[in-house]
Structure 1
Amino acid sequence: MSNVQNVVFDRAAGYYDQTRALPPHEASQLTDALWEALGAAPASHVLEIGVGTGRIAGPLAQRGLSMMGIDLSGSMLAVLHEKFPSLPVALADMTRLPFAAAAFDGVIAFHVFHLVSGWRDALAEAVRVLRPGGKFIYSIHGRDPNSVNSQLRTQWRRLLADQGIKAEPPGIRDDAQVDQVLRQLGCRDHQQREVIRSREPVTARFVLDAMEKRIWSDTWLVPDDVFAQTMGVLRAWASERFDLDQVDQDEYHVGFHVYTV
């Protein structure tokens, strides 16, 4: 059983953008949608918690929005500074934001609450620093559970469970629980928006190779010996069930929830 409190992305800083970035036209669609959802104007002041390398905040800042970012990873923030040197950032914990109450017109959180054990505190802090009428936006991500990618990762977790290990980050993935906490904090006017629904070609061999390189954060949570053993079993299992080089169209979707404070 993992006792990880938070997942920090220092080890991923060098390859994060290459493995997490959306295609340029989809990234532009997402920026457009966020701008619209924020009701953005250059005078608006928006914070991104878990800003990472700036793939969300950077394009918004380039549009003229006054952005601020915080993250626990100094290495990720260093990459952000190389890409967006004028975007102000702070090395800080989203569960204890170093800002006054009602300091921002918007707060954005993308693909981060599953990494934080104190996600309830993070939500409370996000609401605290928002001005009345401000927008809180957090992301939606999903993949086809029947894709080869999902099948391989599900089977790997079963192998780990057989050894009493749970390779799950310490935070929350349940949107209903997030919604409940936000409403208790006084948020209202919930809207949900899907921005992107697309497919990407992938093979079982590619997924296995990526897992063995420990690109994804859930693979960091497993002891090295157990990781090597379970990946060997998984590759043998996959070789019996899939043509490892057959191209599968992996469907994914990206969007976000919007709440008004």
Structure 2
Amino acid sequence: MGRTKDPRAAGLAALAALIADETRAACLLALLDGRAWTAGELARHAGVAPSTLSEHLGKLVAGGLLAQERQGRHRYVRLADARVATLVEDLAAQLPPAQGRPVRTLREASAGSAMARGRTCYDHLAGRLGITLTDALTTRGLLRQDTGFALTEAGLAWFAAAGIPLDGGGRRPLARACLDWTERRPHLAGVAGAALCRHALEAGWCERIGSERAVRVTGTGERELSALLGVPADALR
């Protein structure tokens, strides 16, 4: 007598098929910057006609991976929630380091280097910057990594003392490990990672550069992060 098929199998296969298209994958990766994009912007980014892109967006929205809204004649889309961002980033992290098209221009090389130094991963910091801050939190006993990511009592006190509120998480974990696709090591995500990133941008510790997700630490950020976490300024550049 045959085994009963797992009822989740069809849904998992459908989800995999939804992502397994280069144009749709390009859209999902672009939307990891946490912003809402217009359909026209995504079409130019993916290098396809607007009509083609519209069909792909319809599938992603219907599949629950994207949310959309209209303002006037513009249609905006964004990742449905943080869980989708986690799924996309985790899948991207499984790619071989050399995966991707070759860099053809100095501008592309500079942009790639900036992204590797520091970037946002949906709503938290990634790249060498994200790893550096995660290591600093761990070294100072504010974050544990031995049994999965977890803030310690000292870590909770540190966020409070730094004026970084850790609220509004809902079912989202307070701290979560996110595998960094350039560093191949986990950086801090979850409510704490998002709060740290948001505060860093709002307080002027970090600033966005270029049109991608790249960020860099400002002079103010170097001083504050050195004082709060003991990170040398040259490790933040």
Query: Fold conserved (TM > 0.5)?
Result: no
Larger RCO: 1 or 2 (CA < 8 Å, sep 6+): 1
Between Structure 1 and Structure 2, the one with more strand by share is 1
User: TM-score, with normalisation over the residues of structure 1?
Assistant: 0.26
User: TM-score, with normalisation over the residues of structure 2?
Assistant: 0.28
Between Structure 1 and Structure 2, the one with more helix by share is 2
